[in-house]
Structure 1
C-alpha cells in the first residue's frame, strides 16, 4: 500500500472512530454510513435489527455478503446517584483498567454529557478500599463511577438514566498515527468498516449480488448479523474483523488477510476458506 493509500485509510478510520456507536445506540454512525453510501449512489437501507445494508447487483444468480460490525464496546448506566455520580457496568468486553481514569461521553436521550471515569484517590493507606486495587487485583466496574458534577435534575433533563450508554470521550478518542500504524480506541471494528466502505467505492459489477453489511449489536451477541442471515438467502458470507497479533496465535504481521478456522462462536467453513486461499 502506498503512502497516499495509507493517508486515505487513516482519515477514513479516524472519521469512523469519532462517530460513537455503543451497542444498541448506534444512530451516530448509522447516519454517517447511510449518507456516505447515498453519496456513492448505492442502494442502501437499515433493517429492523439496526444493520446498515448496501446492495451491489451482480451479473449472475446468487448472493454473497461481506460484514463488519459497526458497534463498539463501552458501558451502560446502572444507577444515577447523588452529586452527579453514576454507577456503570460493562457493555461487551469492556474493562475499566483498559480505559483508565479519564473522559467518557454519556449518550443521553437529549444531550451528550462528558464525565470522568473515576477510581478513587490514589493517596491511600492500608485501610482504604483502593489499596487492594493498587497492589492485588484489577479495578472492576463495581468499584468505579462516573463523576459528572451535574445535579440529578440536570442529568434527567439531558436524558441520562439507567440504560444510557457510556463510551470513551471524543476528547481522547481521536486516533494517532505511528508511521504506518494507527493507535486508537474502537479499531474493533471501525477499521473493518473502513474496508467495507472501500469495497462500496471499488466494487461496481460483481459476479453475483453482493451485500455489504455494517452489522449492529455484534459486541453483545452478534445480534445484527444473525438477523440478517436468517432473513437473506446467501451462498457465502465473509466477516471482516481485526485479529490478535500475540505469541499464542500463529499469525504473521503483514498486509495479507488472516483466515480463521475457529473462534469463540464456533468453526468456520473450510470450503470457503479454501476458495479464499486460492
Structure 2
C-alpha cells in the first residue's frame, strides 16, 4: 500500500479553496491543477470543455478512470438595478438562504474583481416589518457592491456587466482537531484526495496496476461535467462528496461508498470491491443511497459512455451550504483509491 500524506492533501486543499471556480469560470483553477500535476511528474491535457486529464502510466495498458470536479456553486450577474445593486442568477443548486449575508466577488470579463455582499431586498428588520417573512428566492435577493455606486450607470462604469461571474467567499477554517469547514468542499476535498493518491504514487515510484486517467471536470455542478470522458476508459470511479443526515449512516470521518443516487444504482461489482477493500484496509466507510444527488459518473453514463461506474468520497456535512468534513475522510478516500488502483 502506498503512503498517503495528510499534510500534503490538506495544504493542496487550502490552495484549491482559495481559488474561485464557479462552474464555467475555471481557467485559473485548471491551471492550478495542471501545475500541481506537473510538479508531481505527470502529464496533463486540456479537454475542449476546459477540464484537465492527468495520465499515470500503469503496469498494464488498460485504463482505470478516476474523476473529480473543481467547479463550485456560484452566481452570475443577471441584471443591474436602477439603484446600482446587482440581481444575480444561481450557478448550481443551493438554497438561497445559504448565501444570504455572504461575502462574494464579482469577476468582470476584463479581469477586474469587486467585493460585494448578498442581501435580501429588505435587509433590515429596523426598517421593514416583513423582512423576516419575505421568501428567500432569486427575485428577492441582490448584491450590494462595495464601491461608491448609487445608480446603474455607476455600476456599469466599474466594468460590471450582465454575464459576469460571481464567487462566494469560502470562509475556510482548518482546525487542529482535523475538521475542515468551508464552502466548496464539494468537490475540492475530493480533488485533494485524488491528488493524495497521485502524490503517494509519485513519491513511492510505484506503478498502479492499470494506467490511470484522472478526469478533473469543470461543469459538474450544472450537470454535464464528465459527460465526455476518453473512450478508452472502461471503469470510472467518481470521487465526490458524500452526503450526511436523515437516514444516512455516514459521518464526517467516513468515506462514502454510494450504492445508488438519482441516476440509478452504481456497478455492483465495483461497489462490492470497494467495500471489500475498505474492510481489508480498515478504512472507516459507510454505504449510503442519495436519492437527490448526481455525479460525474452519472453524467458520463448519460452522455453515452459504455462503462462500469462507482462513486466514493469524503462525507461532508451541510452540503451546498456551510460545509464541514474531517481530514480522516479525505485521507480514507485517497487510501481507498490507492487500494483499488494497486489491485491486480
Q: Is 1:140 matched up with 2:142?
A: no
1:172-206 Cα shifts (integer Å, max 9, x gaps):
63334261111111100110111111122122411
Structure-1 separation of matches of 2:158 and 2:220: 27
CA contact (8 A) 2:259 2:265 kept: yes
Structure-1 separation of matches of 2:16 and 2:199: 16
Normalization by structure 1: what TM-score? 0.86
Name structure 1 gaps, 5 residues minimum: none
Using the TM superposition, give the Cα deviation of residue 63 of structure 1 relative to its aligned residue in structure 2, in angstroms.
0.4
* Pairing of 1:157-172 with structure 2 (within 5 A): 159-169=159-169
Show the counterpart of 2:243. Answer: 244
Normalization by structure 2: what TM-score? 0.71
* Pairing of 1:69-88 with structure 2 (within 5 A): 69-88=69-88
Structure-2 separation of matches of 1:56 and 1:245: 32
Using the TM superposition, give the Cα deviation of residue 6 of structure 1 relative to its aligned residue in structure 2, in angstroms.
4.4
Q: Is 1:113 matched up with 2:114?
A: yes
* Pairing of 1:1-278 with structure 2 (within 5 A): 5-110=5-110, 111-119=112-120, 120-126=123-129, 128=130, 130-133=131-134, 137=135, 139-148=136-145, 149=147, 150=149, 152=152, 155-156=155-156, 159-169=159-169, 173-177=171-175, 179-203=177-201, 204-221=206-223, 223-228=224-229, 231-252=230-251, 254-255=253-254, 257-278=255-276
Name structure 2 gaps, 5 residues minimum: 277-344
Using the TM superposition, give the Cα deviation of residue 102 of structure 1 relative to its aligned residue in structure 2, in angstroms.
3.2
Structure-2 separation of matches of 1:249 and 1:264: 15
CA contact (8 A) 1:19 1:29 kept: yes
Using the TM superposition, give the Cα deviation of residue 125 of structure 1 relative to its aligned residue in structure 2, in angstroms.
4.7
Q: Provide the secondary structure at the position in 2 that maps to 1:227.
A: coil
Judge which range, 78-87 or 61-70, deviates more. Answer: 78-87
CA contact (8 A) 2:70 2:218 kept: yes
Structure-2 separation of matches of 1:125 and 1:80: 23
Note closer, same or farther for the CA distance 1:159–1:261 as it changes in structure 2 (3 Å cut). farther
Q: Provide the secondary structure at the position in 1 that maps to 2:261.
A: coil
Q: Provide the secondary structure at the position in 2 that maps to 1:94.
A: coil
Structure-2 separation of matches of 1:32 and 1:156: 31
Structure-2 separation of matches of 1:27 and 1:35: 12
Using the TM superposition, give the Cα deviation of residue 9 of structure 1 relative to its aligned residue in structure 2, in angstroms.
3.2
Using the TM superposition, give the Cα deviation of residue 72 of structure 1 relative to its aligned residue in structure 2, in angstroms.
0.2
Judge which range, 63-72 or 99-108, deviates more. Answer: 99-108
Judge which range, 243-252 or 261-270, deviates more. Answer: 243-252
Note closer, same or farther for the CA distance 1:108–1:271 as it changes in structure 2 (3 Å cut). same
Structure-2 separation of matches of 1:28 and 1:157: 25
Q: Provide the secondary structure at the position in 2 that maps to 1:261.
A: strand
Supply the RMSD in Å over aligned alpha carbons. 2.2
Task: Identify, as 1 or 2, the structure richer in helix.
Answer: 1
CA contact (8 A) 1:105 1:166 kept: yes
